[in-house]
Amino acid sequence: MFVLWRYAYLLSPAAAVSSVALRVLSAGLQVATPLLVGAVVGRLPSVVADGVDIAFVLLLGLLLAALPLGNVVEALAVIPLERLQANAEEDVLLRVGAVGAARPDLASLDNPEIVGRLQQISVNRWWITSGVQLACGPLAALTLSLVGRSVALGIVFSWWGALVLAAATIARSLYGARNISRQMDVWTAQTEGQKHARYAFTQGMGKTAKEVRIFGLAGFLRGRFWTHTTEALRPYWLIRRQQAVEASLFGLAHIAIAVGTLGYAGWQAEHGRLTLSGLATTLPLVFSIASTNLSGYAEVQRGATVSRWMEQLNSGGTPEPEPSATVLEDGRRPGHGAAPMVVFDEVRFRYPRASSDTLRGLSMTLDAGAAVALVGVNGTGKSTLVKLLAGTHQPTSGRILVDGVDLAEFDEEELRSWQLRIAPITQDFVRLPLSVGDNIELGAGRLWSGRIDGEQQPPSDAMEAVAARAGIVDLVDGLPRRWATPLDKTIPGGADLSGGEWQRVALARALRAVDARAGVLVLDEPAAALDVESEARLVNGYLELAREVTSLVISHRFSVVRPVPTICVLEGGRIVEKGSHEELMSVRGRYHDMFMTQASRYVEVEEGL
């Protein structure tokens, strides 16, 4: 509980203090009310005999004031609790996001332990908000009022009776909290069944919904969803049934103790050992103590556990001192400038927990303002090379030099600046549910409109220029709201694009980045979803653009890489051949074999015609 109090105080000191203070006041009123009831009832005989006196009026006035005041305090206590809940939700999301997105590198997202912990926190983050609300709200008031009522009952009635009843109430609450924890442990442990159920639901409702219906798989997926959901729930139902009898016995024992306490109070009153005032005070105290439920401690405990996970995840030990910014001989910092020269020097790289290196001593040079193409079969490390070039991963050994400076020596600011200089089109390029104008203008690092319901507005000259170069002028003109059309059919007025159309939009975004600031252009399978005309336009535009920037094009299509002056063949994690198309064909090596294998398909088609 103290863990969440501390966490709440760090979130908002004013809200945490005011919430706890209001709950202390609420607990005080809950203790004072039965005492005032007993005092008022105890004076009734004298009022009947002698009439109303000032003391009775004062006590009655305090009682009548305490009742509505308690409601007012409860209403006021909601305000800081809502503030703490909102702050906790925001803090958890920001801190989880910071682990994966705050740094310019992606090393944390390749660490299975970190990713697993992120998943745990994301799934269970509501325990933190729920725990904070309980710790600073109802549970704090219940705990304080239980202590206060027990002390009051001991003073007015019997210390032994108060002790036994309070102990029984606490035991029942802790037992209930343990049962809840066991139930949740059983439920959260059924990850396999839940995973398959979620997978079946996603398949039936997501992007594969069309194929699911075409192949008549909807019934199969519904059955699979129900089967695995039931499989995950069965152990949960079993433990609840097992706990039912035991919980009933615990409840009956608790009721028996409360009834026994009431009976003993009546016996004491009957024999003149407990006054009318004492009896009138004892009865509501016994009822209120017996009805106190502290099982919320289970949620508080879970919230504290998730909070500790989050602190461990965000604690990176003692921060290292910021390195001094590297400056080149001409005064530029390595993250800034025009088209750079990039050198891969004996680079080796292995992913976490992988059994072998993906890159094995790769050496390659991207000359400033020159174009280089990279070819190779799947799994040879082409996409990994792009990650290393962008600085999202660091080599296991070797160096990547940007204008002579090792990329590993860049501080975070320099690395972000370097990444802003790269205009990429990767195989899994981002598809934002924003307007087509924003999807393109974000290449320049800014928004065009920033709205999905905005009115059509004129595009900038730069946007129209890159649209023409990427071949999407007709595409934009054909959209319902042209540049303002959201690229998501689930948004009112939105539209969906084909894979090739999206790829041309991504190309336009990369071209816009080059116009704005980028000095490195990376095209990773840029023609994978393009038709023949779009591919020809891409190749011509790329060769023209390559004169202005340092560029790397990666493709399985030899029609795309053939015109590039320098072609590198990646195999076995290293560059095995390098040269122009004509040079590589003449040596009849690996490039020649791959080219002829692909070309033979078209030759066979022509011969068949």
DSSP structure string for 230-287: HHHHHHHHHHHHHHHHHHHHHHHHHHHHHHHHHHHHHHHHHTTSS-HHHHHHHHHHHH
Distance CA 143, CA 37 (A): 22
pLDDT digits (tens, 9 = 90+) for 397-431: 888 888 888 888 887 778 888 878 887 777 667 77
Sequence-distant (6+) residues with CB within 8 A of 515 are: 444, 462, 465, 466
pLDDT at 89: 80
Q: What is the sign of the dihedral through the CA atoms of 221, 224, 229 and 232?
A: negative
- Contact (CB, 8 A) for 409 and 323: yes
CA distance 168 to 118: 39
Q: Is 471 left (phi over 0), alpha (psi -120 to 50) or beta?
A: left
pLDDT at 314 over 80: no
Q: Can you point out the beta strands (E) in 473-544?
A: 520-524
**Predicted local confidence at residue 107, as pLDDT:** 59
Q: How far apart are CA 550 and CA 542, in angstroms?
A: 11
Question: Lowest-pLDDT range, 336-345, 455-464, 596-605?
Answer: 596-605
How confident is the model at residue 606, as a pLDDT?
Answer: 46
What pLDDT is stored for residue 351 in this prediction?
79
| Side chain identity, residue 412 | E
Spatial contact of 396 and 382, defined as CB atoms under 8 Å apart = no
Share of the chain above pLDDT 70, in %: 80
Structure tokens given for 550: 């340092």
DSSP 524: E
Residues 372, 552: contact at Cβ < 8 Å?
yes
pLDDT reported for residue 331: 42
Question: Any residues with CB less than 8 A from the CB of 211 and at least 6 apart, and which?
Answer: 217
Closest CA to 303 of 11, 15, 25, 28: 11
Mean pLDDT, range 284-313, rounded to an integer: 79
Strand partners, 423: 521
Residue 121, pLDDT > 50, answer yes
Average pLDDT over residues 218-226: 78
Mean pLDDT to the nearest integer, 237-245:
81
- For the chain, helix (H) and strand (E) counts, in that order, are 22, 10
What pLDDT does 574 receive? 82
What does the pLDDT look like over 30-43, one tens digit per residue?
888 888 888 888 88
Distance CA 150, CA 152 (A): 5
- Pick from 444, 441, 466, 426: which is nearest to 552 by CA? 426
State in words which class domain 429-518 has.
alpha beta
pLDDT-above-90 percentage for the chain: 0
Mean per-residue pLDDT of the chain: 77
> Which tops the pLDDT comparison, 453 or 193?
193
> How far apart are the C-alpha atoms of 188 and 232, rounded to whole Å?
9
* Residue 18, C-beta contacts closer than 8 angstroms, at least 6 positions apart: 80
Q: What are the tens digits of pLDDT across the range 28-82?
A: 888 888 888 888 888 888 877 777 778 888 888 888 888 888 888 888 888 888 8
pLDDT of residue 454: 59
Q: Which DSSP letter does residue 352 get?
A: T
pLDDT at 524: 77
285 versus 116: which is more confidently predicted?
285
CA 523, CA 477: separation in Å to the nearest integer?
26
CATH class of 335-421+520-609: alpha beta
| Global confidence as pTM | 0.59
pLDDT(321) > 70: no
pLDDT of 335: 47
Rg (CA), the chain: 36
pLDDT band at 191 (very low <50, low <70, confident <90, very high): low
CA distance 381 to 386: 9
Gap between the Cα atoms of 59 and 39, Å rounded: 7
pLDDT at 327 over 70: no
Q: What pLDDT sits at residue 325?
A: 42
